Structure 1
């Protein structure tokens, strides 16, 4: 384990990424725990309202992300300074993305249905960074054996092909599939060969004169959403808390 950690995390310079991801996840978990306690009226935590103005945690998040980001650029990938900046950036990014829905809608939708977007973005971001972190990059490792060089070259080719399929999946309106398809084998291919979502660029371009294909796409989206929407929302509620009922 220690050898793998050094060869694939430390030597390629991915230790700051590991620290940033860890602090990002912890920042989100701690923040959601505190906001849920505030919502339930439990514990010592209260909203910060100087002068009657509610200060959302996206504000210190932006400050920390800015400090950590510029600090990381200035310090490079190695050294204590880089590690500290990575932690600062991760904490800030966790605070910012926890309120991503507020930024997107320019409204306080934290505990509404629209607020689910924040949880979705955080989970997707953490998953993608984890995949990049645990994957073996084809660059950055010294003194490779011939076998290691060959395997990393094949990995690079695989990532390039996956990226191509992911672009097609993205054009077909499958954003999650496209993002995961870059680093997960065959995911992008599955999204690329299946029917496009009816409102996607692909559907508007290629299904315009194919009513049967468009009808099949509509039926597939309906069945998919009916099967998975409730389950996805249950997981989101477990992670971030259930939205407030509409008044």
Structure 2
């Protein structure tokens, strides 16, 4: 195990990336645990993150830590104790920021709402991409080229262009997650680009406008796909993000209007 770790992680310079990923996941888990305890009114945690009556979301220190860790990592390189330290700092900051990704996206405190599920989705997607990178995958299939093919600029550029085209087609067909994963695993993008587009996507609006049978097939396939997977995805998000919990308590971490309490 030690030999494998040194050969595949330490020697290629991937240790900072592994430390950043570990601190990222750990920070997200700890943050979600604390916010769920605050929401339920349990434990020693209280909503003390305020200054001058203004609530400070944890995305704020997250941005600061991510900037410190990112600039520090660029300045120190990929080796040494300093690089490892800044990788951990960056991972902590990224975990805090992406835990409130939905808040940044909607410019509203949607932490416990359905819109807040986007934060969990982005965290899982980020974890998957970094894990693939640790596994040796490179953007647009560069890792699949031999040394001679990389030296041949024509083959290199053509490979990048073709794989990018598949990713772009997948994105135009409304399959964002598939397109993102496809940047590291080209086969996923190829499959996504060849299958029917999702209803409402740019591709469906343009290409299926005069093809009622294609529109019907696309709608039926999307319905079956969503019916099969959405329930499992929501259950996973409920377990990870705590969306199933309900509490009448208000501890000052939600909306300040007279609507339903949002006691995070």
Q: Same fold (TM over 0.5)?
A: yes
Shift of 1:76: 1.1
The number of residue pairs the alignment matches comes to 235
Which residue is equivalent to 2:107? 106
> How far apart, CA to CA, are the structure 2 residues paired with 1:167 and 1:9?
31
Q: 1:182 to 1:2 in 2, by over 3 A?
A: farther
Kept in 1, the 8 Å contact 2:69–2:87? The answer is yes
Q: Which stretch shows the higher mean deviation, 188-197 or 115-124?
A: 188-197
The residue that corresponds to 1:166 in the other structure is 167
C-alpha separation in 1, matches of 2:36 and 2:164: 38
Shift of residue 129, structure 1, vs aligned partner: 0.4
Superposed counterparts of 1:54-203, under 5 Å:
54-135=55-136, 160=160, 163-184=164-185, 186-203=187-204
Aligned partner of 2:252 in structure 1 is: none
Q: Cα offset for 1:114?
A: 0.5
Counterpart for residue 144 of structure 1: none
8 Å contact kept, 1:111–1:242 = yes
Indicate the residue corresponding to 1:40 in structure 2: 40
Task: Summarize the Cα distance change of 1:58–1:200 in structure 2 as closer, same or farther, 3 Å threshold.
Answer: same
Give 1:38 deviation, angstroms. Answer: 0.4
Q: What is the TM-score when the length of structure 2 is the normalising length?
A: 0.80
Work out the CA distance in 1 between the residues paired with 2:130 and 2:30: 19
Q: What residue in structure 2 maps to residue 211 of structure 1?
A: 212
> 1:53 Cα shift?
2.0
Judge which range, 159-168 or 179-188, deviates more: 159-168
Of 50-59 and 93-102, more deviation after overlay is shown by 50-59
8 Å Cα contact 2:137-2:184 kept in structure 1: no
Gaps of 5+ in 1: 139-147
Greater CA drift, 219-228 or 125-134: 219-228
Q: TM-score, normalised by structure 1?
A: 0.86
Indicate if the aligned counterparts of 2:137 and 2:185 stay in contact, CA closer than 8 A.
no
Q: Is the 8 A contact 2:167 2:189 kept in 1?
A: yes
CA RMSD in angstroms comes to 2.6
Distance change in 2, residues 1:183/1:3 (3 Å): farther
Cα deviation 1:149-169 (Å, max 9, x = unaligned): 68x99xx99x85655433321
Equivalent residues of 1:115, 1:243 under 8 A apart: no
Cα distance change on mapping 1:49 and 1:220 into 2, 3 Å: same
